[in-house]
Structure 1
Amino acid sequence: MNTCLPIEHCGETLWLLPDKAIYWPARRALLVADVHIGKAASYRALHQPVPRGTTATTLARLDALLNSHDCEQLIILGDFLHARAAHSPDILASLYAWRNRHHSLKVVLVRGNHDRHAGDPPVVLAIEVTDEPLLLEPFALQHEPLPHPSHAVLAGHVHPVYMLRGRARQRLRLPCFLIDAQVSLLPAFGEFTGGWLVEPGLGARVFLTGGDQVWALGG
């Protein structure tokens, strides 16, 4: 069974989920970043050998999270679609079927850099699209990890990972949440996204995700 890790941040309780998402109980909201639907298809269009089935797997993971938490809304912190290749008939059919399974759910997309290139999702998906920041007290929900003048930021874009180093030179890269007073980062949700190695600054908290657990670095 997947085990969430509740934390307190800016006076709010947030549940860090092993599947690289945040559940915000007070808002009944699921937050994800960097879904990158259609990325594998974009690479295949360039004749790159990449895995198939990533869209179906990503949407199935979203299904599982939405079905296991009391959600009124899904908020996507940018890069829902990777590129215009995500508008292909097969991918759109998968998205339509996913949306029909959650037809009463409010879905909000905070535009990211890839969304601007890919274009907004089709209107039939009933996804509200907005530029950053989306202000939901006490947070500014953004794609870009830039400070906001009055709100603590929850953002994506970076795809943060942390390197664990063992005594015998073992190395393990794991996706992570980085929680800081000004700007906090969510790991990339998508199946085919890679990661950027982060080094936490003074006062930042790092929470690693692996398997079915989330745990505090050094905890």
Structure 2
Amino acid sequence: MTQTIQIKNQEFILHPNGGIFWVEKSMLLISDVHLGKVAHFRKFGAAVPQKAIHKNFILLDEIVSYFQPFQICFLGDLFHSSLNKEWQFFENWVEKTPSEILLVAGNHDIIAPEKFEALGIKIFQELEIEGFLLTHHPEERDSYFNFCGHIHPAVRLQGFGRQRLKLPCFFKKKQQLILPAFGEFTGTYVLEPTKEDEVFAIAEDEVIKV
């Protein structure tokens, strides 16, 4: 189940896979997929299941099929490290995906820009669109609302008794929304909300305002 919010008179749909669909622009925002991370860790002996590689592409296919966006904008850390065998999977995914793809470069995006450009992917350091600022690292800039990633936000919830849950979330401040990490094999960082913040946790295929 999704959640719909309004920001600057624009409509945004939060999806439980971790992306945001900007309705008026038909643009899907996704952050911190970290493709290649599984292969990178397996190369150095980490016991990470091979199926985790394909899970990222399954999740991407699901959300793209759901929204059918005109554009997909990755807000950084699309690929985790240098080239490895997951790059070929990514090439195949791009080839079959009809949406235009944009990349706002993150700190992990160290692959040569020419490799992305050869796939028709445009790379930016940041994007300014009608009062919205799209970045990888959180930014504060007068008169702009910032969509960003990098943090891998999560929220800790108190359950019955001593039960505690840590859930990935969309973390919304007055002029900023931090997207959860989209990638299957990524960690999270717990943020403590203030009274002014809004938190939308992801739990069992639902986006829940908490």
Which TM bucket (shorter chain)? over 0.9
Q: Distance in 1 between matches of 2:174 and 2:9?
A: 11
Aligned to 2:147: 154
Taking a change above 3 Å as real, the CA distance of residues 140 and 93 of structure 1, as seen in their structure-2 partners, is same
Aligned to 1:25: 23
- Secondary structure of 1:215 counterpart: strand
Aligned to 2:130: 137
Taking a change above 3 Å as real, the CA distance of residues 129 and 183 of structure 1, as seen in their structure-2 partners, is same
- Secondary structure of 2:87 counterpart: helix
- Count matched residues: 209
* Correspondent of 2:174 among 177, 181, 200: 181
Letter in 2 for 1:33: S
Q: What's the TM-score, normalizing by structure 1? A: 0.90
Q: Distance in 1 between matches of 2:141 and 2:12?
A: 20
Structure 1 window deviating more from structure 2 (208-217 vs 121-130): it is: 121-130
Q: Verify the 8 A CA contact 2:40 2:81 in the aligned structure 1.
A: yes
Letter in 1 for 2:101: V
* Correspondent of 2:60 among 62, 80, 84: 62
Aligned to 1:106: 100
Structure 1 window deviating more from structure 2 (90-99 vs 12-21): it is: 90-99
How far apart are residue 30 of structure 1 and its match? Answer: 0.7
- Secondary structure of 2:65 counterpart: helix
Deviation per CA, 1:146-196, whole angstroms, max 9, x where unpaired?
212331101000000111112311111111001112221000000101100
Q: Verify the 8 A CA contact 1:156 1:185 in the aligned structure 2.
A: yes
4+ aligned runs moved over 6 Å, structure 1: none
Aligned to 2:186: 193
How far apart are residue 57 of structure 1 and its match? Answer: 1.2
How far apart are residue 111 of structure 1 and its match? Answer: 0.4
- Secondary structure of 2:118 counterpart: helix
In structure 2, list runs of 5 or more residues that go unmatched.
none
Q: Distance in 2 between matches of 1:196 and 1:15?
A: 23
* Correspondent of 2:90 among 95, 100, 103: 95
Letter in 1 for 2:150: H
Q: Distance in 2 between matches of 1:92 and 1:118?
A: 10
Q: Verify the 8 A CA contact 1:82 1:118 in the aligned structure 2.
A: no
Deviation per CA, 1:10-35, whole angstroms, max 9, x where unpaired?
22111011111101110001110001
Q: Distance in 1 between matches of 2:143 and 2:43?
A: 43
Q: Distance in 2 between matches of 1:149 and 1:78?
A: 22
Q: Distance in 2 between matches of 1:58 and 1:118?
A: 19
Are 1:172 and 2:170 counterparts?
no
Q: Verify the 8 A CA contact 2:32 2:76 in the aligned structure 1.
A: yes
Structure 1 window deviating more from structure 2 (122-131 vs 32-41): it is: 122-131
Q: Verify the 8 A CA contact 1:207 1:215 in the aligned structure 2.
A: yes
In structure 1, list runs of 5 or more residues that go unmatched.
none
RMSD (CA atoms): 1.4
Are 1:52 and 2:50 counterparts?
yes
Determine what percentage of the aligned residue pairs are the same residue: 33
Q: Verify the 8 A CA contact 2:36 2:87 in the aligned structure 1.
A: no
How far apart are residue 52 of structure 1 and its match? Answer: 1.7
